Amino acid sequence: MERDEQVWWGVRYPHKEAKVKKRRTLAEIKEKVEKGAAVVMTADELCNSVRSGEDVSFEDVDVVTSATCGLKSGTFSVLSFKVAEREEFERASKVFLNGVPAFAGPCPNERLGIIDAIVYGTSRRDEKYGGGHLFRELVAGEEIEVVVETVEGRRIETTTNLEEIPFARLCGTRNAFKNYYAFVNAHEDEVASIFSVSKFEGAFKELTFSGCGELNPLEKDPFMDTIGVGTKILMNGAEGFVIGEGTRSSAKKPNLMGIADMHGMLPEYLGGFRTSAGPEVWNSWAVPIPVLNERVLENAKRLDEEIQLGVLDVHNRLPVGEITYADVWRDCDLSVRFDEHKCIECEECQVASICPTDAFDVMAKEVNADLCCNCGACVRFCQEGAFYCNLGVVTLSGREIPVTLRQSDRKRAAKLAEMLKRKILDADFTLSEPAGRL
DSSP codes joined into one string, 15-83: -SSPPP--B--HHHHHHHHHHT---EEEHHHHHHHHHTT----GGG-SEEEEEEEEE-SSEEEEEEEE-
Q: How many CB atoms lie within 10 A of CB 97?
A: 24
pLDDT at res. 347? 86
Strand stretches in 297-409, DSSP E: 308-313, 319-324, 337-338, 360-361, 366-367, 387-388, 393-396, 399-406
pLDDT at res. 4? 42
Q: Is residue 6 scored above 70 in pLDDT?
A: no
Residue of 328, 261, 360, 305 whose CA lies nearest to 70: 328
- State the pTM of this model: 0.93
pLDDT at res. 2? 38
Mean pLDDT calculated for residue range 320-344: 95
DSSP annotation of 105 reads -
pLDDT at res. 109? 78
Structure confidence at residue 135 as a pLDDT band (50, 70, 90): very high
CA distance linking residue 111 with residue 84, whole number of Å = 9
CB-count burial class (<10 Å; 0-12, 13-18, 19+) for 163? exposed
CA distance linking residue 318 with residue 436, whole number of Å = 35
- Average pLDDT value over all residues in the chain: 93
Percent of the chain at pLDDT above 90? 90
Residue 288 β-bridge partners: 65
Mean pLDDT calculated for residue range 398-417: 97
Where in the chain are the domains?
81-164
Q: Is residue 5 scored above 50 in pLDDT?
A: no
DSSP annotation of 124 reads B
Cβ contact 188:203 at 8 Å: yes
Mean pLDDT calculated for residue range 406-414: 97
pLDDT at res. 20? 56
pLDDT at res. 179? 86
Cβ contact 401:204 at 8 Å: yes
Residue of 382, 379, 410 whose CA lies nearest to 206: 379
